[in-house]
Amino acid sequence: MKKRVWAGILLLSAMLLNTTACSKGVPTSAVSEPVSLSGKLTATFIDVGQGDATLIQAPSGKVLLIDGGPKDGEVAVLSTLKSKGIRQLSIIATHEDADHITALDNVVNTYDVDKVYLPKMPTKATVTMERFANAVKTKGLKFTSAKAGVSVDLGVGVTAVLLAPVKDTYDQDNNYSAVLKVSYGDTSFLFTGDAEGESERDMIASGANLKATVLKVGHHGSRSSSTDPFMKAVSPKYAVIEVGPNSYGHPTSTILNRLSSSGIKTYRTDQQGTVTAVSDGKSVTFTTEK
C-alpha cells in the first residue's frame, strides 16, 4: 500500500515538473519579437551644383534615386552611388529638365534598375532626354507613369507615395514634377522636384496629407514655389535647398525669409555641400559635407 502511495506521489511530482518545464518553454516560442524601427532611413541630398539629386536608402536595403543632377553634377551622383556600395535601385525622374536627369542614363547603364518613374508630360525631346530614354529602353525597361496616388516600394516600415502631378495638363513644365512623400515612423520627407504654385494648390486641393518633417524646397528656392498655403500645409521642421551657382537668383530672399521667419532650420547644398538626413523613425538628424 505504502509503495503505491509513494509511486503515486513520485508520478505526480514528475508530471508537475514536466508541466513547469513546458509552461516555461511555451511563452518563449509563442511570443513574437516586438516590432522595432531598428533600421535607419537615409536621404542624401547630393551637391550637384544647380540641380537636384537625392538618394534614399530605406531600412529594408531598398534604394531610390530621385533625379540625377545637371552635367556638372554627374561625377558627384555616380561617385555617391559607388561609395555607398549601391548595386540595385529604382529611379524617379521628377521631370525632363536637364538639371534633374543628366546623370540618369549613366545610372541606368551601370546599375541593376528595378523601376524608372517619369511623369507623362509634353516631351522636351532634348538630347539629354533622348539619351536617358534610350538607356531605359536598351536595358529592357519601361517608364512607369509618375502621378499622384502611385506607390513606390521602399520595403517594410516605409510608405512612399507620389502626391503630384495631380493633373495631366499644366502650362509650366515644372508643374508636372513628381512629388514624393516618404514616411518612416514618426518622421516624413517631402521631395518636390521643381513643382510650382499651381501644382502646390492642386496638392492641397487633393486633400493629401502634406505634413512633413523635412521638405526638399521646390525649384531650388525659386519664388514660384513654396507658396504660403503650401508651407503651412507641410509645416516642416527642416528644409533642404538643392542649389548651385546660377543666374536665376535661386534661392530667392523671399523664400529664405519665409523659411527663417517660420523657424524652419534650412540647409543649402551650395553652402554646405552634400547634406545627409538620417531618420531613426522618431527624429531626423543632419550632417553636412562642409
Using CB under 5 A, pick the residue from 194, 200, 202, 242 that binds Zn ion.
Answer: 194
* Residue whose C-alpha is closest to residue 116's, from 85, 141, 82, 149: 141
* Residue whose C-alpha is closest to residue 189's, from 179, 199, 175: 179
Question: Closer CB to Zn ion, residue 236 or residue 244?
Answer: 244
Place of cell 518563449: 28
Cβ of residue 186: shortest distance to Zn ion, in angstroms? 30
Q: What is the rounded radius of gyration, in angstroms, for the C-alpha atoms of the chain?
A: 25
Question: Closer CB to Zn ion, residue 96 or residue 99?
Answer: 99
Cβ of residue 87: shortest distance to Zn ion, in angstroms? 28
Binding range to Zn ion, per CB under 5 A, among 17-25, 107-115, 188-196, 245-253: 188-196
Cβ of residue 115: shortest distance to Zn ion, in angstroms? 22
Give the residue ranges of DSSP H helices in 85-244.
98-101, 104-110, 127-138, 197-205, 228-234
Question: Closer CB to Zn ion, residue 194 or residue 202?
Answer: 194
Question: Closer CB to Zn ion, residue 39 or residue 49?
Answer: 49
Site mask for Zn ion (CB under 5 A), range 73-112, x = bound: --------------------------x-------------
* Residue whose C-alpha is closest to residue 211's, from 190, 195, 227, 226: 190
| Site size toward Zn ion, by CB under 5 A | 2
Q: What is the DSSP letter of 93?
A: -
Question: Closer CB to Zn ion, residue 184 or residue 191?
Answer: 191
For 150, other C-beta atoms within 10 Å of its C-beta total: 17
| Helix (H) or strand (E) segment spanning residue 21 | helix 2-30
Question: Closer CB to Zn ion, residue 132 or residue 184?
Answer: 132
End-to-end Cα distance, the chain? 90
Distances (CA, A) of 8 to 4, 18, 140, 228: 6, 15, 76, 83
Site mask for Zn ion (CB under 5 A), range 4-23, x = bound: --------------------
Cβ of residue 103: shortest distance to Zn ion, in angstroms? 14
Cβ of residue 224: shortest distance to Zn ion, in angstroms? 11
Question: Closer CB to Zn ion, residue 194 or residue 196?
Answer: 194
Cβ of residue 246: shortest distance to Zn ion, in angstroms? 10
* Nine cell digits for residue 31: 511570443
The reply to whether 242 sits near Zn ion by the rule CB under 5 A is: no
Cβ of residue 244: shortest distance to Zn ion, in angstroms? 11
* Residue whose C-alpha is closest to residue 215's, from 248, 193, 184, 198: 193
Residues that bind Zn ion (CB under 5 A): 99, 194
